[in-house]
Amino acid sequence: MKHNVIAVDLGASSGRIISSTLEDEKLELKEQFRFSNQPINITNSLYWDYLKIFQEIKYGLAIAQRDLEKIQSLSVDTWGVDYGFVGHDGNLLATPHSYRDTRVKKYEDDLHEISTPREMFNETGVQPSLINSNYQLFADMKLHPYLQDEISHIMFMPNLVEYFFSGKVSNEFTIASTSGLLDGKSRELSTETLDQLGLKKEWFGDISKGGKVLGNILPAIATEMHLDPDIQIINGIGHDTGAAVYSLPMKKDEAKNSAFISCGTWSIVGQQTDEPVITSDAYEAGLTNEGCIDGSNRLLKNITGLWIVQELQKEWSFKGEMVEFGEMVKEAEQANHIGSYINPNAACFSEPSDMEERIIEFLKQTNQTLPETRGELLLIVFESLALSYHQTIVELEKATNESIDTIYMFGGGTKNSLLVQLTANFCQTNVVIGPTEASVLGNVLSQYKTLGLIKNEDDRINILNNSFESKCVTPQNLNSINLDERTRDFENILHNYEVE
């Protein structure tokens, strides 16, 4: 029997409706619909166009219904930290802000007077950042005091979208774990943090774990879009990276000696742990703690990733040079190593436009050799990313007292064979290339688990092994280079250039 489910996969630039068909312990994915999901700038504030998101998902579901005939369920995964306010009448009180909105900066010092960044980390296990929900909510309460009387519920983005389709209020653990609102030890809402921010615990409800059926799709939506009224809305894995980690063919006993790298616009380097790691080593390294579907932990660091390369491509296209990513990799492979590096997390690389100029300026400021070709420029970026991964792996090993012998790498960046090989080389570790559609895959697997079609870890891994082939990239012989010297040179660049 075929079991069809829908993953609504929302990213910070696009949204997708992906169907999954499970039959005979093998699943197949199919993209049914894709739409743009850019934040909207109005009067210097950034918002998510939730009405467009809702309408586009409905349209995509109608397309999927015609293709599949029968849909059992859907679930939503998104980026972290953002949320919406629901009033006592069940409607949104305000358009949800994007995490890149600048309103928070005005209130940063006020919040730090109440709780210092180190105190926040000690309480929640989450690295302080202006994009985090706790910072955003503090700013919202300062800007709009009337919300105290008007809010009935606060839901994070995936649960808010599921609310639009089910009418059921929910919040899920993996997405809530990105907020800076959970107690680092109990993994429940932190009463201390909520009190400091002026928030009420009842606004968030219970934080669910492990998957939950919210109910059937609202009858009005089923009628409007000619959908099966029995489609179930599932609160599965709300956070896209949490979903991606669930897609790895890795058993629980392998996790302590394995790391993962989500390689895309952002690079997320991390490791699964039984409990949050809230130590001085973790804090000083910039590591943060987020949740997994089973209630365990992801210890990780966010690194500016292929955003830099994407901006270079866009910049060159404006100049009339259309350089495909495959061509970029070839040019970098043919280039000479010139011993220069950038710090991908430097503030100058977080902003759009003039990326090539920013790289050159960084190299000048750090007294490094300048590239003479486009290939050399790209090789600097790719080597710097791989060395950043290596540095974070070392920090993870120190924080957990566990050695890492395997890296699972997934996401669109795994199509960059040079970056994958550099990662294996610099980390001197086997790199297993996971699915490109890792977040979608974790989303649908969580639905099958909630529906009782996946009963244990063996079932999940059997389905993954039956459905996808894994490729292992091994480190090359590095006798021709001095890896210790490269690592030392890269770390000197990091220490000598302040990340704002």
Q: Are 429 and 406 in contact (CB under 8 A)?
A: yes
- Angle at which helices 374-400 and 355-365 pack, to 10 degrees? 70
Find tokens 């990326």 and name the residue. 355
Say which DSSP state 112 is in: H
User: Which residues, 6+ apart, have CB-to-CB distance to 468 below 8 Å?
Assistant: 435
Catalytic-residue membership of 253: no
Q: Which one, of 178, 372, 334, 337, lies nearest residue 266 by Cα?
A: 178
Catalytic residue among 49, 228, 240, 253: 240
Radius of gyration of the chain (CA): 23
CB of 128 closer than 8 Å to CB of 120: yes
> What DSSP element (H or E) covers 133?
helix 133-143
| CA distance linking residue 420 with residue 443, whole number of Å | 25
Give the CA dihedral 317, 321, 326, 327, nearest 10 degrees. Answer: -160
Helix, strand, coil shares, percent, the chain, to 5:
45, 20, 35
Residue 411 structure tokens: 């996401």
| 11's tokens | 């990213």
- 372 within 8 A of 411, measured Cβ to Cβ: no
Q: Which sign, positive or negative, has the C-alpha torsion 403, 409, 413, 419?
A: positive
User: Cβ distance 380 to 359 under 8 Å?
Assistant: yes
Contact 97, 160 (CB under 8 A): no
**Phi and psi (nearest 5°) for 45?**
-125, 145
Closest CA to 263 of 429, 432, 92: 432
CA 472 remoteness from chain centre: 23
Q: Residue for token digits 């949800």?
A: 96
Burial class from Cβ neighbours inside 10 Å (0-12, 13-18, 19+) for residue 191 reads: exposed
Residues classed as catalytic = 240
